[in-house]
Amino acid sequence: MLKYLARPRNLSVGVLIGASAIAAYFVSFKSHICSTRMHTKARGMIYPNTDIKRFPVPDEFVPWHVCYSDYKPVGYTSKHILSGPVYADPDISKTVANPPLKFNELDKAYNVDRRSYTGEYEINDGFPRNPRGRTGVVGRGFLGRWGPNHAADPVVTRWKHTTEEKKFYKNDKPVLEFVAIKRKDCGQWAIPGGMVDPGDTVSNTLKKEFGEEALNSVVASEEEKKKLQAVLTKLFKSGVEIYKDYVDDPRNTDNAWMETLAMNFHDETGKAFDKFKLKAGDDAGAVAWIEVSGNVDLYANHQDMIRKVAELHHAYF
Alpha-carbon distance 227 to 20, whole Å? 67
- Most confident listed range (85-89, 209-213, 224-228): 85-89
More confident residue, 80 or 1: 80
Residues 256, 145 contacting (CB under 8 angstroms):
yes
pLDDT at 2 over 60: no
Of 145, 97, 153, whose CA–CA distance to 252 is shortest? 145
CA dist list (Å): 161 to 164, 165, 216, 317:
8, 5, 26, 16
Alpha-carbon distance 286 to 278, whole Å? 9
Which 8-state DSSP code applies to residue 89? P
Q: 82 by DSSP, 3-state: which? A: helix
How does pLDDT run across 256-290, given as a tens digit for each residue?
999 999 999 999 999 888 877 888 887 789 999 99
Of 151, 158, 181, whose CA–CA distance to 285 is shortest? 181
Pairs from 105-112 (Cβ < 8 Å, separation ≥ 24) = 110/198, 111/198, 111/199, 112/145, 112/198
Of 24, 28, 34, 22, whose CA–CA distance to 63 is shortest? 34
pLDDT of residue 217: 82
More confident residue, 199 or 243: 243
Can you tell me the mean pLDDT for 173-189? 95
Residues 5, 13 contacting (CB under 8 angstroms):
yes
How does pLDDT run across 140-151, given as a tens digit for each residue?
999 999 999 999
Q: How confident is the model at residue 11 (pLDDT cuts 50, 70, 90)?
A: very low
Work out the mean pLDDT of the chain and round it to a whole number: 89
Phi, psi (rounded to 5 degrees) for 204? -70, -40
Can you tell me the mean pLDDT for 31-47? 77
What's the CATH class of domain 43-313? alpha beta
pLDDT of residue 260: 98
Alpha-carbon distance 172 to 26, whole Å? 40
Q: 284 by DSSP, 3-state: which? A: strand
pLDDT of residue 277: 83
Residues 275, 227 contacting (CB under 8 angstroms):
yes
Where is 80: in which H helix or E strand? Answer: helix 79-82
How does pLDDT run across 48-70, given as a tens digit for each residue?
999 999 999 999 999 999 999 99
How does pLDDT run across 130-141, given as a tens digit for each residue?
999 999 999 999
pLDDT of residue 36: 56
Q: Which of 85-99, 107-121, 201-215 has the lowest mean pLDDT?
A: 201-215
Rounded to 5°, the CA angle 246-249-253 comes to 90
pTM of the entire structure? 0.84
pLDDT at 152 over 60: yes
Q: How many residues does the chain have?
A: 317
- Domain ranges across the chain: 43-313
